[in-house]
Amino acid sequence: MSPPATAPLTDAPAQAARIIPIHTAAQPTSRRPRAMPKGRQVQPEALARVEALCAGLEPRTDLLIEHLHRLQDAEGALRPAHLAALADRLRLSQVEVFEVASFYHHFHFADDGAAVPATTVRVCTSLSCDMAGSGTLLARLRDALEHDPAVRVEGVPCIGQCHRAPAACVGQRQLPEATVEAVQALLEAGDTGPRTLGPAPVQAPELPQLVRLLHGDISTDQVLAELKASGLRGLGGAGFPAWRKWETVRAQPGPRHMVVNIDEGEVGTFKDWHLLSTGTPQMLEGMLIAAHVTGVERIWIYLRDEYHDIRHLLQAELDALQPVLRALATKYPGFTPPQIALRRGAGAYICGEESALIESVEGKRGLPRLKPPIVAVHGVFGRPTLAHNPETLWWLPEILQKGGDWLAAQGVNGRSGLRRFSVSGRVKRPGVYLAPAGITLRALVMEHAGGLPDGHTLYAYLPGGASGGILPATLADVPLDFDTLAEHGCFVGSMAVVVLSQHDRARDAALNLMKFFEHESCGQCTPCRSGTGKAVQLMQAPVWDAETLGELSAVMRDASICGLGQAAPNPVDSVLRFFAHEVNGEAST
């Protein structure tokens, strides 16, 4: 019931006293003015140091990660004073600089003035190296170098040398078949820089197929027709038809960009390292052909940080390429060479996902983007972007020389094309092998990798690295290619084959892989961030909780943003499906 209309609702004088005029000038206070601005102040000596170390780098925000590498390479770690000075140089907030630096595993932090180790020894703990005894190697190195303040020893995920396990990086020097003695010898000699690959000096490339294209012997439409006829697919893992990417990018308004994804961090994958160490000029020619046909103006080559030797080789090849491109631009006025930049990753497997790679190219944390839009429409700096793996590009000059039908005619078991397989684990000759698409695991191991070592018999294998699942020996005659393994809950991905024998357990391999995913999750979405950690806990139990692991797997697949979280359950699901005896704590059979 409403109160009478004449009843006062409040005490009017008291209410008026509480009214504060909004236009009344502020009254002076007794607070003293601040002596200096908030936050960490930029020290002149730190700014001078940063300017000296980053000389030649434009002060652009997309070059933030390159600046961070300059600082760490010189100082051994990132220091607060230098990060503050870097933020000032790039006109970024200090928290923006720190949040990017702390995202990437290869950046270390130290207090101003604190002593830091001059050299980091990274020992691979991923599957192939773990099978070769990297855990013991890591423990022995920590014991041997425990009291050496100049050395930092870390266990790290795959470093792309699975065929020469156990592998380590000593500073910027990759050390295959590493031993404590070999590591100590490099440290004592100060031989911690990258190895020299290829001839020195590097020769200027000839680019015969690009010249044919520029001269008019073959048109851009004919190149696309040969590409379609070849059936060439993206060879970084997804297997998307190359010609569809090209047509999508060509249909977009310019300017158009391109990224070359050499951030192969998949456990068991090292084919890109092998290809670039032996065939960089052909990859660069394919890159230029793709750029010309699709109208690309700028190219970023994104290389994983573990490949210091490849980085130096690539830079030398790019330097040798520039005068050739200038000469071609003079000879063919319609040809404008694209701008090419070599970018260095910083230890983040997630940046192998193309949209996360693009975020990193832009100087940000490598967080995958929600799709749509796809990167072919909205990529680097919001422009249409062609994203390719180096092996895909390597095939382009070959296709133009021999014809698309030639490549399509290769293959066995009803498949088409040729594939490079990274083969490691329990084989006599680990390495990269060019084989027909559709080859079986049995044929690949026996005809190319020399079979299994004496005393070993085939027990299981990974057809596609950490993400591709685990198959039993009974499926060793299934064709290895895109789309052939789906009925078994697996996929071939980047064609990283890891072979297990009766001396291994599939559940141990799956646990190693899940620890890898837990370490490499970007943390952006809860199903992947929390799911990988929870899975590791469950998988360490003597007997697996199959029901809970199955439910966790379904949530990660359905709700993760990108392929990492969606594919991380594959090894677990494979063990539950094909190796149930191990789930119950029984031995391998």
Q: What is the pLDDT of residues 283-338, one digit of tens each?
A: 999 999 999 999 999 999 999 999 999 999 999 999 999 999 999 999 999 999 99
Residues 588 and 524 occupy one common structural domain: yes
Strand ranges inside 184-338, DSSP E: 256-262, 296-303
Among residues 124, 134, 46, which one has the least CA distance to residue 85? 46
Same domain, 469 and 579: no
404-437 pLDDT, tens digit each: 999 999 999 999 999 999 999 999 999 999 999 9
Q: Percentage of the chain with pLDDT > 90?
A: 88
Does residue 335 form part of some domain?
Answer: yes
CB neighbour list of residue 102: distance below 8 Å, 6 or more residues apart: 109
pLDDT at 32 over 70: no
d(CA 336, CA 338): 6
Can you give the pTM of this predicted structure?
0.91
| Within a domain: 19 | no
Kindly state the average pLDDT of the residues 229-251.
93
Q: Both 247 and 389 in a single domain?
A: yes
Does residue 256 sit in the same domain as residue 397?
yes
Same-domain status, 393 and 260: yes
Boundaries of domain holding 495: 418-500
pLDDT for residue 24: 46
Q: Assess if residue 194 is contained within a domain.
A: no
pLDDT digits (tens, 9 = 90+) for 263-291: 999 999 999 999 999 889 999 999 999 99
Rounded Cα–Cα distance for residues 81 and 360 (Å): 24
- Asked if residue 393 and residue 260 are part of one domain, the reply reads yes
Residue at which a domain ends, from 472, 500, 528: 500
Beta strands in 1-139 (DSSP E): 119-124
> What pLDDT band is residue 366 in, cutting at 50, 70 and 90?
very high
Share of the chain above pLDDT 70, in %: 93
What does the alpha-carbon distance between residue 409 and residue 411 come to, in Å, rounded to a whole number?
Answer: 7
Same domain, 384 and 238: yes
| 313 occurs within a structural domain | yes
Q: What is the per-residue pLDDT for 21?
A: 47
Beta strands in 290-449 (DSSP E): 296-303, 339-344, 385-388, 418-425, 431-436
Do residues 224 and 342 share a domain? yes
Strand partners, 440: 479
Same domain, 274 and 367: yes
- pLDDT, residue 125, reads 97
The residues, any chain, with a CB within 8 Å of residue 251's CB and separated by 6 or more, are: none
Structure-token pair, residue 160 = 């792309």
CATH code assigned at 140: 3.40.30.10
Bigger pLDDT: 584 or 496? Answer: 496
SS3 398: helix
Q: Is residue 28 part of a domain?
A: no
Read off the CATH number of the domain in which 564 is found. 1.20.1440.230
Statement: residue 187 has pLDDT above 90: yes
Q: How many separate domains does the chain show? A: 5
Distance of CA 186 to the CA centre of its chain: 27
Residue 7, domain member (yes or no): no
Is the pLDDT assigned to residue 14 strictly greater than 70? no
User: Domain check: are 366 and 225 in the same one?
Assistant: yes
Clarify whether residues 474 and 513 are in a common domain: no
| The pLDDT of residue 7 is above 90 | no
> Same domain, yes or no, for 283 and 364?
yes
Provide the pLDDT for residue 199: 77
